[in-house]
Amino acid sequence: MDKFQALKHYFGYDHFREGQELLIDSILAGRDALGIMPTGSGKSLCFQIPALMMEGITLVISPLISLMKDQVTTLNQAGIHAAYLNSSLTASQYYKALSYAREGRYPIIYVAPERLVTDEFLDFALNTNISMVAVDEAHCVSQWGQDFRPSYLKIVDFINKLPKRPVISAFTATATKEVREDVIDILMLQEPAVVSTGYDRPNLYLGVQSPKDKYATLKNYVERHPDQCGIIYCLTRKLVEEVCDRLNQEGFSATRYHAGLRDEERRKNQDDFIYDRSRIMVATNAFGMGIDKSNVRFVLHYNMPKNLESYYQEVGRCSRDGEPGECILLYSGQDVVTNQMFIDNNQDNQELDPVTSRMVTERDRERLRKMTFYAFTNECLRDYILRYFGEYGENYCGNCSNCLSRFETVDVTDIANKLLECVKTSKQRYGTAVIIDTVHGANTAKIRNYRMNENPHYGCLAKVPAYKLRQVMNHLFLNDWMAVTNDEYAIVKLTDKSGEILEEGASVIMKMAREQEPAEKEKRGK
């Protein structure tokens, strides 16, 4: 059977999708492979088809029991013998599965990374012909990845113990350069074929709003889309409960999902959503990995997530069938504070050594900052995301709230100069709020305490509204003309590029919303 026959016979599809063939061909030629493809693009087939065509067994390493179960069930339904080995099995089930595996019944075996280096499993693996190790959700090996799993580091130990090195393939939806390099280095991929397919999802409308009343905005949205399924992501379990209860009380069909619920309820609620018994899923980021529901038409973020990796993964669950869908972020300043708190109290980090832990924290802060800029930028949102993931976008997509809003182009060179001067003359010691209050001439105890009322620039921009000053500052940050320190103090600093404005007289032109303060304004939907 060739790969096309396998595709048709087992999966019922006629054509490969972008990237699939290349990955399959490399693996079949015995070459390591790394597939970087967005969620829903069909990564599983890339290792399943070669697994069925190669001699010997393919081990698939996967971080989540639910993911393994789903995939094994799907394979079994397609008439493929596959099994999983993880902690959801009783001891006797586990040994039975292992003994079937020894008999060579399964071409594909899913295994949790923790199992790999156990004695029983090693005993099996060392006496079997393992032709491929496929690492799913491979970004989990990276400490810089959003879901770092220490147990993923065991994969290499395991591979090194094998008598013959199998082909290693790795798959992830996280495209950043650091994660890509980490996956290659840590899994020790040998000259892998790297296939990275496009991140752009042109069918998704991207929007940012900063409503005063998030719930009212949300309710209004679900009212206006009565026939559509959607996911509402909240940052905390408590908010999930609140939003879900309120929606239900008001007669919407909503269910909930977060890690604090019992397994049965989680499973039931998830199924209710997948099988359209509940139209709206209100969830924390615990919901979604491995969910294959193609008609999710909106993904609303009740809070801003901690980074763009999470955000794009979550919105990636919208309209997987390619039909139009809408993804709207409801931003508020409090979201930044909450995320900051999560970052500072990250339990996982406390298991790391202090140096690494500090680096991870700094990195997370930097990511949060980039996410926050997304909420503030007046440029094309899609372009912003694609550039973040290292792809070239166009600066106009025509399907995001910025491309569809009317902005005016404003020369803010004078404001930019004064802000930078104020930072400079106050010796780069203060945060954004103090700088803005100073040039704005605020008469507060804090300003007097810092003696910023004696700064030569005190009150020099008194007539410019504070929101506009904030926008200009954000524009300066976005363009590296100014930076903030990567610690809890977030002190504003000059950068190598500040001189372009301060000394070389560069003009600063930016797009600004017309009328009122963006926080008051609800950016228009589609």
Confirm or reject binding of residue 174 to ligand ADP (CB under 6 A): no
169 near 136, Cβ under 8 Å? no
Element (H, E) at 297: strand 296-301
Helices marked H in 377-450 — which ranges?
A: 381-388, 413-425, 432-440, 445-449
Confirm or reject binding of residue 69 to ligand ADP (CB under 6 A): no
Q: Nearest approach, Cβ of 480 to ligand ADP (angstroms)?
A: 34
Q: How far apart are the first and last CA of the chain?
A: 48
Closest CB to ligand ADP among residues 45, 239:
45
> In whole angstroms, what is the distance from residue 377 CA to residue 380 CA?
8
Which 8-state DSSP code applies to residue 113?
G
Closest chain position to ligand ADP (CB) = 42
Q: Is residue 169 helix, strand or coil?
A: strand
327 near 349, Cβ under 8 Å? no
Confirm or reject binding of residue 476 to ligand ADP (CB under 6 A): no
**With 0-12 CB in 10 A as exposed, 13-18 as middle and 19+ as buried, what is 166?**
buried
- Binding ligand ADP (rule: CB under 6 A), the pick from 23, 34, 36, 45 is 45
Confirm or reject binding of residue 43 to ligand ADP (CB under 6 A): yes
Torsion angle in degrees (nearest 10) through CA of 476, 479, 480, 485: 60
Confirm or reject binding of residue 37 to ligand ADP (CB under 6 A): yes
DSSP for 430-446 reads -BHHHHHHHHHT---HH
234 binds, among Zn ion, ligand ADP, none (CB under 5 to 8 A by kind): none
Residue 149, CA distances (Å) to 114, 154, 261, 352 in order: 10, 10, 22, 12
Identity of the residue numbered 125: A
Q: Are strands 167-172 and 130-135 parallel, antiparallel or unpaired?
A: parallel
Query: What distance lies between CA 499 and its chain's CA centroid?
Result: 34
Task: Tell me, by CB under 5 A, how many residues bind Zn ion.
Answer: 5
Confirm or reject binding of residue 317 to ligand ADP (CB under 6 A): no
- Binding ligand ADP (rule: CB under 6 A), the pick from 26, 41, 169, 172 is 41
Q: Nearest approach, Cβ of 20 to ligand ADP (angstroms)?
A: 6
142 binds, among ligand ADP, Zn ion, none (CB under 5 to 8 A by kind): none
Confirm or reject binding of residue 303 to ligand ADP (CB under 6 A): no
Confirm or reject binding of residue 204 to Zn ion (CB under 5 A): no
10 near 52, Cβ under 8 Å? yes
Q: Nearest approach, Cβ of 427 to ligand ADP (angstroms)?
A: 50
Closest CB to Zn ion among residues 201, 279:
201
Closest CB to Zn ion among residues 159, 206:
206
Helices marked H in 194-261 — which ranges?
A: 214-224, 237-249
- Binding ligand ADP (rule: CB under 6 A), the pick from 26, 39, 172, 303 is 39
Closest CB to Zn ion among residues 204, 397:
397
43 binds, among ligand ADP, Zn ion, none (CB under 5 to 8 A by kind): ligand ADP
> In whole angstroms, what is the distance from residue 105 CA to residue 99 CA?
9
Which 8-state DSSP code applies to residue 521?
P
Both tokens of 476, joined, read: 């300066």
Confirm or reject binding of residue 327 to Zn ion (CB under 5 A): no
Binding mask 396-435 for Zn ion (x = CB under 5 A): -x--x--x--------------------------------
Of 469, 472, 465, which Cα lies nearest the Cα of 507?
A: 472
Closest CB to ligand ADP among residues 15, 164:
15
139 binds, among Zn ion, ligand ADP, none (CB under 5 to 8 A by kind): none
Both tokens of 304, joined, read: 């801003």
Confirm or reject binding of residue 82 to ligand ADP (CB under 6 A): no
Closest CB to ligand ADP among residues 292, 454:
292
510 near 470, Cβ under 8 Å? no
Closest CB to ligand ADP among residues 44, 471:
44
Q: Nearest approach, Cβ of 294 to ligand ADP (angstroms)?
A: 8
Radius of gyration of the chain from Cα atoms? 26
Closest CB to Zn ion among residues 35, 393:
393
Identity of the residue numbered 17: R
Confirm or reject binding of residue 292 to ligand ADP (CB under 6 A): yes
42 binds, among Zn ion, ligand ADP, none (CB under 5 to 8 A by kind): ligand ADP
39 binds, among ligand ADP, Zn ion, none (CB under 5 to 8 A by kind): ligand ADP
95 binds, among Zn ion, ligand ADP, none (CB under 5 to 8 A by kind): none
Confirm or reject binding of residue 110 to ligand ADP (CB under 6 A): no
Looking only at residues 9 through 28 of this chain, which bind ligand ADP when binding is defined by CB under 6 A?
A: 13, 15-17, 20
144 binds, among Zn ion, ligand ADP, none (CB under 5 to 8 A by kind): none
The number of C-alpha atoms within 13 Å of 77 and in the hemisphere containing its C-beta is: 8
Closest CB to ligand ADP among residues 73, 443:
73
> In whole angstroms, what is the distance from residue 175 CA to residue 184 CA?
13
Closest CB to ligand ADP among residues 301, 320:
320
> In whole angstroms, what is the distance from residue 327 CA to residue 298 CA?
6
Task: Tell me, by CB under 6 A, how many residues bind ligand ADP.
Answer: 14
Confirm or reject binding of residue 455 to ligand ADP (CB under 6 A): no
209 near 328, Cβ under 8 Å? yes
> In whole angstroms, what is the distance from residue 330 CA to residue 212 CA?
10
Closest CB to ligand ADP among residues 316, 518:
316
Question: Interface residues with ligand ADP (CB under 6 A)?
Answer: 13, 15-17, 20, 37, 39-45, 292
